[in-house]
Amino acid sequence: MIKRRVALGLLGGAIAGLSAQCRSSQPLVQKSLAQTVQSLSPTAEFLGLNVGTELNWTNWRDKLLPLYQSAGIRWLRVWYNWATLESVRGRYDSELTLESLQLAKNMGFKILFVVWGTPAFAGNGELSAVPNAPDWVRYCNWLRSNMAGLVDAWEIGNEPNLDKYHQGTPASYVQLLSSANQVLRQSAPVIAAGPSGASTEEYWQALLDSGLEQHCDRVNIHPYRVRSDEVIEVVDRFLRRVNKPLWITELGRSTDDGGERLKAEFLTNVMPRLSQRAEKVFWYRSIQGEGLHPMSYGLIEADEDSGRVKTLPAYSAYNRYAQALTTNATQANLSQP
Protein backbone atom coordinates (compact mmCIF):
# COMPACT_ATOMS: atom_id res chain seq x y z
CA MET A 1 0.00 0.00 0.00
CA ILE A 2 1.28 3.51 -0.85
CA LYS A 3 2.38 5.17 2.37
CA ARG A 4 0.24 8.03 3.61
CA ARG A 5 3.22 10.20 4.51
CA VAL A 6 4.46 9.96 0.93
CA ALA A 7 1.10 11.06 -0.47
CA LEU A 8 0.77 13.97 1.95
CA GLY A 9 4.28 15.12 1.10
CA LEU A 10 3.63 15.20 -2.60
CA LEU A 11 2.62 18.83 -2.89
CA GLY A 12 5.66 20.27 -1.17
CA GLY A 13 8.03 17.87 -2.87
CA ALA A 14 6.60 18.53 -6.29
CA ILE A 15 6.81 22.30 -5.88
CA ALA A 16 10.39 22.12 -4.59
CA GLY A 17 11.41 19.84 -7.42
CA LEU A 18 9.90 22.10 -10.00
CA SER A 19 11.60 25.15 -8.54
CA ALA A 20 14.93 23.36 -8.82
CA GLN A 21 14.21 22.51 -12.44
CA CYS A 22 13.39 26.10 -13.24
CA ARG A 23 16.81 27.15 -11.89
CA SER A 24 18.62 24.58 -14.03
CA SER A 25 19.86 24.93 -17.61
CA GLN A 26 17.21 22.56 -18.97
CA PRO A 27 14.55 23.75 -21.48
CA LEU A 28 12.10 24.26 -18.61
CA VAL A 29 13.71 27.66 -17.95
CA GLN A 30 11.97 29.13 -20.99
CA LYS A 31 10.02 32.08 -19.66
CA SER A 32 6.46 31.13 -20.63
CA LEU A 33 6.69 27.63 -19.16
CA ALA A 34 8.39 28.82 -15.97
CA GLN A 35 5.63 31.36 -15.44
CA THR A 36 2.99 28.67 -15.90
CA VAL A 37 4.65 26.39 -13.35
CA GLN A 38 4.90 29.17 -10.79
CA SER A 39 1.42 30.64 -11.28
CA LEU A 40 -0.85 27.67 -10.53
CA SER A 41 -2.03 26.92 -7.01
CA PRO A 42 -3.89 23.57 -7.11
CA THR A 43 -7.05 22.91 -5.13
CA ALA A 44 -9.45 19.96 -5.07
CA GLU A 45 -11.10 21.48 -8.17
CA PHE A 46 -8.07 20.17 -10.07
CA LEU A 47 -9.40 16.60 -10.02
CA GLY A 48 -11.74 15.13 -12.62
CA LEU A 49 -12.75 11.69 -13.88
CA ASN A 50 -13.87 10.24 -17.21
CA VAL A 51 -17.22 8.48 -16.81
CA GLY A 52 -18.54 8.31 -20.39
CA THR A 53 -22.27 7.48 -20.28
CA GLU A 54 -22.19 5.91 -16.80
CA LEU A 55 -24.63 8.41 -15.34
CA ASN A 56 -27.30 6.74 -17.49
CA TRP A 57 -26.52 3.27 -16.10
CA THR A 58 -29.42 3.20 -13.66
CA ASN A 59 -28.38 -0.17 -12.20
CA TRP A 60 -24.87 1.06 -11.39
CA ARG A 61 -24.83 4.77 -10.70
CA ASP A 62 -26.13 4.52 -7.13
CA LYS A 63 -23.06 2.41 -6.34
CA LEU A 64 -20.52 4.39 -8.35
CA LEU A 65 -21.38 8.03 -7.69
CA PRO A 66 -20.94 7.81 -3.89
CA LEU A 67 -17.54 6.20 -4.47
CA TYR A 68 -16.56 9.09 -6.73
CA GLN A 69 -17.66 11.52 -4.03
CA SER A 70 -15.64 9.68 -1.40
CA ALA A 71 -12.56 9.72 -3.62
CA GLY A 72 -12.64 13.52 -3.77
CA ILE A 73 -13.61 13.77 -7.43
CA ARG A 74 -15.08 17.17 -8.28
CA TRP A 75 -15.53 17.05 -12.06
CA LEU A 76 -17.06 14.35 -14.29
CA ARG A 77 -16.29 14.20 -18.02
CA VAL A 78 -19.38 12.82 -19.72
CA TRP A 79 -19.73 11.71 -23.32
CA TYR A 80 -23.12 11.42 -25.01
CA ASN A 81 -22.92 11.15 -28.79
CA TRP A 82 -24.87 13.66 -30.82
CA ALA A 83 -26.01 10.72 -32.99
CA THR A 84 -27.59 9.13 -29.91
CA LEU A 85 -29.28 12.27 -28.65
CA GLU A 86 -30.57 13.19 -32.12
CA SER A 87 -30.61 10.18 -34.43
CA VAL A 88 -33.27 11.82 -36.62
CA ARG A 89 -33.04 15.49 -37.45
CA GLY A 90 -35.09 17.51 -34.98
CA ARG A 91 -36.11 14.54 -32.80
CA TYR A 92 -34.23 14.34 -29.50
CA ASP A 93 -34.01 11.38 -27.12
CA SER A 94 -32.59 13.17 -24.10
CA GLU A 95 -34.89 12.58 -21.12
CA LEU A 96 -32.65 10.05 -19.34
CA THR A 97 -29.49 12.04 -20.05
CA LEU A 98 -30.95 15.27 -18.70
CA GLU A 99 -32.21 13.46 -15.59
CA SER A 100 -28.80 11.85 -15.08
CA LEU A 101 -26.93 15.13 -15.38
CA GLN A 102 -29.29 16.69 -12.86
CA LEU A 103 -28.63 13.81 -10.46
CA ALA A 104 -24.88 14.40 -10.69
CA LYS A 105 -25.34 18.13 -10.16
CA ASN A 106 -27.51 17.47 -7.10
CA MET A 107 -24.64 15.42 -5.66
CA GLY A 108 -22.23 18.32 -6.07
CA PHE A 109 -20.35 17.27 -9.19
CA LYS A 110 -19.40 19.63 -11.98
CA ILE A 111 -19.90 18.46 -15.56
CA LEU A 112 -17.59 18.61 -18.57
CA PHE A 113 -19.68 17.65 -21.61
CA VAL A 114 -17.99 16.30 -24.76
CA VAL A 115 -19.72 17.52 -27.93
CA TRP A 116 -19.07 14.87 -30.58
CA GLY A 117 -20.58 12.09 -32.70
CA THR A 118 -22.04 13.18 -36.03
CA PRO A 119 -25.44 11.62 -36.87
CA ALA A 120 -25.93 10.18 -40.34
CA PHE A 121 -28.23 13.00 -41.45
CA ALA A 122 -25.50 15.58 -40.77
CA GLY A 123 -22.55 13.81 -42.40
CA ASN A 124 -21.44 10.74 -44.33
CA GLY A 125 -22.75 8.14 -41.89
CA GLU A 126 -19.61 7.96 -39.73
CA LEU A 127 -19.56 9.36 -36.19
CA SER A 128 -16.23 11.02 -36.97
CA ALA A 129 -17.51 12.81 -40.08
CA VAL A 130 -17.15 16.57 -40.27
CA PRO A 131 -20.80 17.68 -39.86
CA ASN A 132 -22.44 20.16 -42.15
CA ALA A 133 -22.43 23.62 -40.67
CA PRO A 134 -26.19 24.30 -40.34
CA ASP A 135 -26.88 21.05 -38.44
CA TRP A 136 -23.83 21.58 -36.23
CA VAL A 137 -24.84 25.09 -35.22
CA ARG A 138 -28.44 24.01 -34.65
CA TYR A 139 -27.29 21.18 -32.36
CA CYS A 140 -25.07 23.53 -30.38
CA ASN A 141 -28.03 25.86 -29.92
CA TRP A 142 -30.12 22.92 -28.68
CA LEU A 143 -27.40 22.00 -26.17
CA ARG A 144 -27.25 25.55 -24.86
CA SER A 145 -31.03 25.78 -24.54
CA ASN A 146 -31.47 22.41 -22.81
CA MET A 147 -28.27 21.85 -20.83
CA ALA A 148 -26.98 25.30 -19.94
CA GLY A 149 -27.82 24.87 -16.26
CA LEU A 150 -26.38 21.35 -16.11
CA VAL A 151 -23.04 21.72 -17.89
CA ASP A 152 -20.10 23.59 -16.37
CA ALA A 153 -17.80 23.36 -19.39
CA TRP A 154 -18.08 22.21 -23.01
CA GLU A 155 -15.36 20.19 -24.73
CA ILE A 156 -15.64 20.40 -28.51
CA GLY A 157 -14.66 17.09 -30.08
CA ASN A 158 -12.01 14.58 -29.07
CA GLU A 159 -8.50 13.80 -30.31
CA PRO A 160 -8.96 15.42 -33.74
CA ASN A 161 -5.61 14.08 -34.96
CA LEU A 162 -7.20 10.61 -35.15
CA ASP A 163 -9.47 9.72 -38.07
CA LYS A 164 -11.75 7.72 -35.79
CA TYR A 165 -12.68 11.00 -34.09
CA HIS A 166 -12.23 13.61 -36.82
CA GLN A 167 -12.06 12.90 -40.54
CA GLY A 168 -11.04 16.44 -41.41
CA THR A 169 -7.97 18.65 -41.19
CA PRO A 170 -6.71 20.83 -38.33
CA ALA A 171 -8.33 23.78 -40.08
CA SER A 172 -11.71 22.03 -40.37
CA TYR A 173 -11.57 21.15 -36.67
CA VAL A 174 -10.89 24.77 -35.74
CA GLN A 175 -13.85 25.84 -37.88
CA LEU A 176 -16.12 23.49 -35.90
CA LEU A 177 -14.63 24.81 -32.68
CA SER A 178 -15.24 28.39 -33.77
CA SER A 179 -18.89 27.74 -34.64
CA ALA A 180 -19.53 25.91 -31.37
CA ASN A 181 -17.72 28.54 -29.35
CA GLN A 182 -19.91 31.32 -30.69
CA VAL A 183 -22.98 29.52 -29.36
CA LEU A 184 -21.86 27.64 -26.25
CA ARG A 185 -19.53 30.11 -24.58
CA GLN A 186 -22.63 32.11 -23.64
CA SER A 187 -23.47 29.39 -21.10
CA ALA A 188 -20.12 27.90 -19.98
CA PRO A 189 -16.41 27.90 -20.86
CA VAL A 190 -15.36 26.15 -24.06
CA ILE A 191 -12.46 23.68 -24.00
CA ALA A 192 -10.65 22.69 -27.20
CA ALA A 193 -10.33 18.97 -27.97
CA GLY A 194 -7.12 17.37 -26.75
CA PRO A 195 -4.87 15.81 -29.39
CA SER A 196 -4.00 12.22 -28.51
CA GLY A 197 -0.67 11.03 -27.16
CA ALA A 198 0.25 10.00 -30.71
CA SER A 199 -0.01 13.55 -32.04
CA THR A 200 3.07 15.41 -33.26
CA GLU A 201 4.31 18.91 -32.60
CA GLU A 202 3.62 19.66 -36.24
CA TYR A 203 -0.03 18.78 -35.69
CA TRP A 204 -0.21 20.98 -32.58
CA GLN A 205 1.23 23.87 -34.56
CA ALA A 206 -1.24 23.32 -37.41
CA LEU A 207 -4.10 23.71 -34.92
CA LEU A 208 -2.56 26.86 -33.49
CA ASP A 209 -1.81 28.32 -36.92
CA SER A 210 -5.48 27.74 -37.82
CA GLY A 211 -6.48 30.00 -34.92
CA LEU A 212 -7.44 27.45 -32.26
CA GLU A 213 -6.67 29.70 -29.28
CA GLN A 214 -8.94 32.45 -30.61
CA HIS A 215 -11.97 30.15 -30.31
CA CYS A 216 -11.68 28.52 -26.87
CA ASP A 217 -11.20 29.38 -23.23
CA ARG A 218 -8.78 26.53 -22.50
CA VAL A 219 -6.41 24.38 -24.55
CA ASN A 220 -6.13 20.64 -24.00
CA ILE A 221 -3.92 17.62 -24.61
CA HIS A 222 -4.11 13.87 -23.84
CA PRO A 223 -0.46 13.03 -23.00
CA TYR A 224 -0.74 9.25 -22.60
CA ARG A 225 2.59 7.67 -21.70
CA VAL A 226 3.72 4.75 -19.51
CA ARG A 227 6.16 6.75 -17.37
CA SER A 228 5.34 9.94 -15.49
CA ASP A 229 8.55 11.66 -16.67
CA GLU A 230 7.47 11.08 -20.27
CA VAL A 231 4.06 12.64 -19.56
CA ILE A 232 5.69 15.76 -18.12
CA GLU A 233 8.03 16.03 -21.11
CA VAL A 234 5.07 15.98 -23.53
CA VAL A 235 3.11 18.51 -21.49
CA ASP A 236 6.08 20.87 -21.24
CA ARG A 237 6.63 20.78 -24.99
CA PHE A 238 2.95 21.59 -25.52
CA LEU A 239 2.98 24.43 -23.00
CA ARG A 240 5.86 26.11 -24.78
CA ARG A 241 3.63 26.54 -27.83
CA VAL A 242 0.39 27.77 -26.24
CA ASN A 243 -0.75 30.87 -24.40
CA LYS A 244 -4.10 29.81 -22.93
CA PRO A 245 -4.39 27.81 -19.67
CA LEU A 246 -4.30 24.03 -20.01
CA TRP A 247 -6.80 21.31 -19.14
CA ILE A 248 -5.88 17.64 -19.57
CA THR A 249 -9.19 15.89 -20.13
CA GLU A 250 -7.71 12.39 -20.49
CA LEU A 251 -4.73 10.75 -18.85
CA GLY A 252 -4.36 7.26 -17.47
CA ARG A 253 -2.31 4.11 -17.35
CA SER A 254 -3.40 0.58 -18.14
CA THR A 255 -2.47 -2.38 -15.98
CA ASP A 256 -1.77 -4.48 -19.09
CA ASP A 257 1.95 -3.74 -18.79
CA GLY A 258 2.47 -3.46 -15.06
CA GLY A 259 -0.43 -4.35 -12.77
CA GLU A 260 -2.58 -2.37 -10.36
CA ARG A 261 0.28 -1.32 -8.11
CA LEU A 262 2.16 0.37 -10.94
CA LYS A 263 -1.00 2.18 -12.03
CA ALA A 264 -1.36 3.60 -8.52
CA GLU A 265 2.30 4.59 -8.40
CA PHE A 266 1.99 6.32 -11.77
CA LEU A 267 -1.00 8.33 -10.52
CA THR A 268 0.82 9.21 -7.30
CA ASN A 269 3.89 10.43 -9.18
CA VAL A 270 2.30 12.30 -12.05
CA MET A 271 -0.61 14.20 -10.48
CA PRO A 272 1.40 16.61 -8.27
CA ARG A 273 3.67 17.54 -11.18
CA LEU A 274 0.72 18.12 -13.49
CA SER A 275 -1.02 20.25 -10.88
CA GLN A 276 1.74 22.82 -11.42
CA ARG A 277 1.13 22.83 -15.16
CA ALA A 278 -2.58 22.27 -15.80
CA GLU A 279 -5.71 23.72 -14.22
CA LYS A 280 -7.47 20.34 -14.29
CA VAL A 281 -6.69 16.70 -15.03
CA PHE A 282 -9.41 14.13 -15.75
CA TRP A 283 -8.23 10.59 -15.01
CA TYR A 284 -9.09 7.96 -17.62
CA ARG A 285 -10.96 6.08 -16.45
CA SER A 286 -13.59 5.42 -13.77
CA ILE A 287 -14.29 1.67 -13.98
CA GLN A 288 -12.94 -1.47 -15.55
CA GLY A 289 -14.36 -4.95 -15.80
CA GLU A 290 -15.39 -7.51 -18.37
CA GLY A 291 -18.58 -6.49 -20.12
CA LEU A 292 -18.41 -2.93 -18.77
CA HIS A 293 -15.12 -1.51 -19.99
CA PRO A 294 -12.48 -3.72 -21.63
CA MET A 295 -9.42 -1.54 -20.90
CA SER A 296 -7.75 -1.77 -17.50
CA TYR A 297 -7.44 1.95 -16.73
CA GLY A 298 -10.03 2.09 -13.95
CA LEU A 299 -10.04 3.26 -10.36
CA ILE A 300 -12.79 0.73 -9.62
CA GLU A 301 -13.29 -2.91 -10.64
CA ALA A 302 -16.91 -3.75 -11.45
CA ASP A 303 -18.33 -7.23 -11.97
CA GLU A 304 -21.24 -7.22 -14.40
CA ASP A 305 -22.60 -10.61 -13.33
CA SER A 306 -22.67 -10.05 -9.57
CA GLY A 307 -23.05 -6.27 -9.56
CA ARG A 308 -20.20 -5.96 -7.06
CA VAL A 309 -17.71 -3.12 -7.16
CA LYS A 310 -14.23 -3.01 -5.63
CA THR A 311 -11.94 -0.03 -5.26
CA LEU A 312 -8.42 -0.50 -6.63
CA PRO A 313 -5.04 0.80 -5.40
CA ALA A 314 -5.28 3.70 -7.88
CA TYR A 315 -8.56 4.75 -6.23
CA SER A 316 -6.79 4.95 -2.86
CA ALA A 317 -3.94 6.94 -4.40
CA TYR A 318 -6.40 9.34 -6.00
CA ASN A 319 -8.22 9.79 -2.69
CA ARG A 320 -5.01 10.50 -0.78
CA TYR A 321 -4.00 13.15 -3.28
CA ALA A 322 -7.46 14.76 -3.09
CA GLN A 323 -7.11 14.90 0.69
CA ALA A 324 -3.67 16.48 0.35
CA LEU A 325 -5.05 19.16 -1.98
CA THR A 326 -7.90 19.93 0.42
CA THR A 327 -5.52 20.13 3.39
CA ASN A 328 -3.15 22.37 1.48
CA ALA A 329 -5.95 24.75 0.43
CA THR A 330 -7.31 24.91 4.00
CA GLN A 331 -3.89 25.72 5.43
CA ALA A 332 -3.37 28.41 2.78
CA ASN A 333 -6.69 30.04 3.70
CA LEU A 334 -5.89 29.94 7.41
CA SER A 335 -2.52 31.58 6.81
CA GLN A 336 -4.06 34.60 5.08
CA PRO A 337 -4.36 37.74 7.25
Predicted confidence (pLDDT) per residue in 32-61, tens digit:
555 555 467 789 999 999 999 999 999 999
Q: What is the mean pLDDT of the chain?
A: 89
Contact call for residues 8 and 320 (beta carbons, < 8 A):
yes
Domains along the chain?
30-335 (3.20.20.80)
Question: pLDDT (tens digit, 9 = 90+) per residue, 26-37?
Answer: 333 333 555 555
pLDDT for the residue 163: 98
Which pLDDT does position 272 carry in this prediction? 96
Amino acid of residue 298: G
Average pLDDT over residues 306-324: 97
Of the given ranges (5-9, 281-285, 292-296), which has the lowest mean pLDDT?
5-9
> What is the reported pLDDT for 35?
56
pLDDT in tens, 85-141: 999 999 999 999 999 999 999 999 999 999 999 999 999 999 999 999 999 999 999
The confidence score (pLDDT) of residue 279 equals 98
- The pLDDT value recorded for residue 262 is 96
Q: Which residues contact 331 (CB under 8 A, 6 or more apart)?
A: none
Q: What angle do CA 2, 226, 60 make, to 5 degrees?
A: 65
What pLDDT, in 10s, does the model give residues 169-225? 999 999 999 999 999 999 999 999 999 999 999 999 999 999 999 999 999 999 999
The mean-pLDDT minimum among 8-17, 39-48, 103-112, 149-158 falls in 8-17
The whole-model pTM stands at 0.88
Long-range contacts formed by 104-107: CB under 8 A, 24+ apart: 104/55, 104/65, 104/76, 105/150, 107/65, 107/69
Share of the chain above pLDDT 90, in %: 81
